A = this chain, B = another copy of it.
Amino acid sequence: MSHIFEGAEKKLEIVIREGLSFFDWPEKNFIDLVDAAGTKILSKIENPQCRAYLLSESSLFVWSDRITMITCGQTTLVGAALKACEFLNVEDIDTLVYERKNEYFPQYQKTDFYEDIRRLNEKIQGKAYRFGDTDEHYMLIFHSNKPYKPHKDDTTLEILMYGLTGRSREIFNNPGFSATEIRERTGVDKIFPGFQVDDYSFSPIGYSLNAIRDSQYYTIHVTPQDESPYVSFETNLPSRSEVQKTLHAVLEVFRPKSFDLIFFDTRSTPERIEVPGYYRLSQVRQKVACGYAVRYGHFTEASLEEQGAIGIEIK
């Protein structure tokens, strides 16, 4: 199964106390975090408020008060979390959130979530939750226990998409296209206007994009491999009112067969999300001790057509 690539991601977010800044860290600290996760820095873009590293497996974003790191494949993001706890005094960490989506091929992962959080919990006391049933799509979250009050506009939207269909699939699956060609043909750089963009086309296929404007970011990672076609999109929204518009624009480009919607917000009673053309199979909402209301939903298209089975090469 050397041909498989695990698209499903792990995510780490660390917020530090007022008065400290991640921009005071030497570059070497970020290189060490990335190393500890088993990935590499490919390139970097920045503006005065945000720095975005494109990694060999996903992305690292740095602001004065926080870092957000997303890694896919067989990376060990928990290593980066533990490394960050060495660079910081634990009492200076206002909040730490560590997430893992259920993986396509957990048997090829170096660690599992339960092991990860046991190690994390030794450094920084926390709680853990599962959003969704174990036989369906689900997300696992660990967060620090310390009370924290996020800024009221602190919202994150993650759209994790499975089974690309339509024209964009052909573009992403074509090993002949450069990053520029992929970007222009799919319009992934137009989801939000006026962003500085850094993207990369992997060999033979695979595509990553980081985009920043002031303190806002969005990032896209495409694993179009037939065995496990997957795309992730993530952004910190400029405002709650843009959820539906953003969701629509993203689904329009990728047309997934199914997707997860993960929403971190500060309000505990957000409205219910329905998406035309998709069944909502689950919706889980939980207010967590670190101050966020977290929502997770899985949506799927109806498969009305019968299909044939997929042949597996024996090797």
Asked if A1 contacts B114 (CB within 8 A), the reply is yes
Contacts of A244 in B (CB 8 A): none
Segment from A19-27, A130-138, A170-178 that makes contact with B: A130-138
Do A130 and B312 touch (CB < 8 A)? yes
- Size of interface on A: residues with Cβ below 8 Å to B: 55
Interface check A86, CB cutoff 8 A: no
Asked whether any CB of chain B lies closer than 8 Å to the CB of A227, the reply is yes
Residue of B nearest to A120 (CB): B314
Question: Is B310 touching A228 in the complex (CB atoms < 8 A)?
Answer: no
Query: Are the CB atoms of B134 and A228 closer together than 8 Å?
Result: yes
Q: Are B118 and A315 in contact (CB under 8 A)?
A: yes
Q: Which of A41-49, A60-68, A233-241, A274-282 contacts B (4 or more CB under 8 A)?
A: A274-282
Closest chain-B Cβ to A191's Cβ sits at a distance in Å of: 23
Q: Would you give the shortest CB distance from A207 to chain B, in whole angstroms?
A: 19
Chain A 182-215 interface mask (CB, 8 Å, partner B; 1/0):
0000000000000000000000000000000000
Q: Which residues of B contact A69 (CB under 8 A)?
A: none
Instruction: Render A285-315 as a binary contact track against B, CB cut-off 8 A, 1 for contact.
Output: 1100000001010001011001111111011
What residues of chain B lie closer than 8 Å to A134, measured between beta carbons? 104-105, 227-228
Cross-interface CB contact of A309 among B284, B307, B309, cutoff 8 Å: B284
Q: Which of B135, B279, B286, B312 contacts A162 (CB 8 A)?
A: B135
Q: List 22 A-B contacts (CB under 8 A).
A: A1-B114, A105-B134, A114-B312, A117-B312, A118-B314, A128-B311, A128-B314, A129-B309, A130-B310, A131-B310, A133-B163, A135-B137, A136-B300, A141-B309, A272-B306, A279-B279, A280-B303, A281-B302, A282-B307, A283-B303, A285-B306, A286-B308
**Inter-subunit contact A107/B104 (CB<8 Å):** no
Alpha-carbon distance A140/B315, docked complex (angstroms): 15
In the complex, per-residue mask of A252-288: 1 if CB is within 8 Å of any chain B CB, else 0: 0000011000000000000010000001111111100
**Any B CB within 8 A of the CB of A217:** no
A5 to nearest B CB, angstroms?
Answer: 11
Cβ of A126 under 8 Å from chain B: yes
- In the complex, what's the smallest C-beta–C-beta distance from A269 to chain B, in angstroms? 11
A109 at the interface (CB under 8 A from B): yes
**Distance, CA A106 to CA B106, complexed state (A):** 6
Is residue A230 contacting chain B, with contact meaning CB distance below 8 A?
A: yes
Shortest CB distance A76–B (Å): 14
CB distance from A243 to the nearest CB of B (A): 16
Contact string, A210-234, partner B, CB cutoff 8 A, digits 1/0? Answer: 0000000000000000011010000
Q: Which residues of B contact A168 (CB under 8 A)?
A: none
* Contact status A135-B163, CB under 8 Å: yes
Query: Does A246 touch B at the CB level, under 8 Å?
Result: no
CB closest chain-B residue, reference A285: B306
Q: How far is the CB of A75 from chain B (nearest CB, A)?
A: 15
Q: Is A156 an interface residue (CB 8 A)?
A: no
